[in-house]
Structure 1
C-alpha cells in the first residue's frame, strides 16, 4: 500500500524543494492533467503555512479537498503540528487521498467523504477553500460530470455555503484561493489580499 503511488512518482529525497510537477507525479494521470485547474499549487500552500504559523492555528479544514494535496503538503510543512481535516464528497478522491496520506506519512490528516454544504464542521480555527463551488458552474476542466451544472444550482449552493460560514465563531479565519464563489461575505472582513500563482488569495476573518 505504501508504494502504490510513490513508485509512479519521480524520485524525491527529504530536503529537496517541492514542486507541483513533483507532487502531481504521484497522482494517476487523469488527475495530473487537472492539477493546474483543480488542485492547490505548492506556492499557495507554502504561503498559507507562512500565514498560519504566525496566526495561532490549531486546526484547519479544507472544504472540498480533492486529491488531498493541500492537506498533505500543509501537514508536511507544519511538521505534523496541527490537525487537518479534508472534506470531499467523491469516494474515488477520498480513497486516493487516504492512500497518499499513508505514502507521505501524515497521520494527523483526516479525510472524510462528506458534503460540507450539508455537514459543516464548526469549531475549527481556520478554513480553506479553492473555488469549492466550481463543479456546479458550466465551465471546463471539471473533475467529472456527476454534479448538476446550472446557474440556479450554483446560487443555491453559494447561499448554503454563506449560511454555514456564518456559524463560525468570531476571529475564525477563512482562506480562499480563486474565491469561494462570490465577492462579498457577510459577517467577515478581509485581512489579507494578494495575487499568487495567477489567482486571488484572501484571508477573511469572522467578525
Structure 2
C-alpha cells in the first residue's frame, strides 16, 4: 500500500523540527490541500503530547482520524509508549493512514474503518477530536459529498456523540481542538482551556 500513496522516502527523527509543510508533503496531493482545514496541525499534536506527559495515559483514541496525522505523529513523540487508535469511516483515508504509519515506522498505533457514532469504543483513558462532525455541516473545504449535510443531521449526530460520551468512566479525558461540535457537554468539566493559533484547545474530564 505504501508505494501507492507515497512518492517520497524519508525518516522523521524525533527532536528534529517538524512542520505541517514537511508532514503534508508525504500525503497524496488532493489531501495536502485539505490540510489547513481538516487535519490536526503539528503544534496541536505537540501541545497534546505536552499535556499527556503530565497525565496518566493508558490509551488514546482519535475520533475521526482522517489521514492519521494526529495518531502517527503522537506515536512518534511518545515513542510508542501507549496504544493509539484512530477511527475513520472512509476506507480511502484509513488506507492513507496505514501508509503514513509505515512511512514513519510508527509503533503501537492502529486504524479502524468504522463509524464511531454507531460503534463507539469504551475503555480508553483519553479521547481526541478535531470537530469530527464538520462533514455533516454545509461548510467549505469538505473532504467529499458522501455524507448528508443538513442542520437536522448535524444535530442528530451531535446528540448521538454526547450520549456516547456519557458512557465514559469518571476521570476519562476528552481533548478537543475546535470543539466536538457543541459548546456544552453534560457530565464533563473543563480542566484546561487555551486559545492556540486561531483555535480553541480544551481538555474535558468525565465527572
Q: How far apart are residue 198 of structure 1 and its match?
A: 1.1
Distance 1:17 1:183, change over 3 A: same
**With structure 1 as the length reference, what TM-score do the two structures score?**
0.96
Which residue is 2:44 aligned to? 44
TM-score (norm 2): 0.96
Equivalent residue, structure 2, for 1:22: 22
* Distance in 1 between residues matched to 2:8 and 2:106, nearest whole Å: 19
Q: What is the CA–CA distance in structure 2 between the aligned matches of 1:134 and 1:101, rounded to whole Å?
A: 25
- Given that 2:125 and 2:173 are in contact with CA atoms closer than 8 Å, whether structure 1 keeps it comes out as yes
Q: Deviations over 1:144-195 (max 9, x none)?
A: 0000000000000000000000010000000000000000000000000001
Inter-partner Cα distance in structure 1 for 2:114 and 2:142: 19
Q: Distance in 2 between matches of 1:203 and 1:42?
A: 18
> Secondary structure at 2:140's aligned position in 1?
coil
Does structure 1 residue 91 correspond to structure 2 residue 91? yes
Whole-angstrom CA distance in 2 between matches of 1:77 and 1:13: 10
Decide whether the 8 Å contact of 1:3 with 1:103 is kept in 2.
no
SS in 2 for 1:74: helix
Listed as ranges, the gaps of 5+ residues in structure 1 are none
Match of 1:66 in 2: 66
State the shift of 1:106 in Å: 1.3
Matched, 1:193 2:176: no
Alpha-carbon RMSD across the aligned residues, in angstroms, is: 1.4
Larger displacement relative to structure 2 (14-23 or 170-179): 14-23
Q: C-alpha distance in 2, partners of 1:51/1:151?
A: 34
Unaligned segments of structure 2, at least 5 residues: none
CA distance in 1, matches of 2:40, 2:161: 20
Q: In 1, Cα distance between the equivalents of 2:46 and 2:144?
A: 28
CA distance in 1, matches of 2:12, 2:110: 25
Q: Is the 8 A contact 1:41 1:197 kept in 2?
A: no
After alignment, is 195-204 or 135-144 more displaced?
Answer: 195-204
Give secondary structure in 2 for the equivalent of 1:190: strand
Deviations 1:21-76 (A, max 9, x none): 00000001110000000000000000000001111111000000000000000000
Counterpart in the other structure of 2:112: 112
Deviation, 1:5, is 5.1
Show the counterpart of 1:103.
103
Match of 2:181 in 1: 181
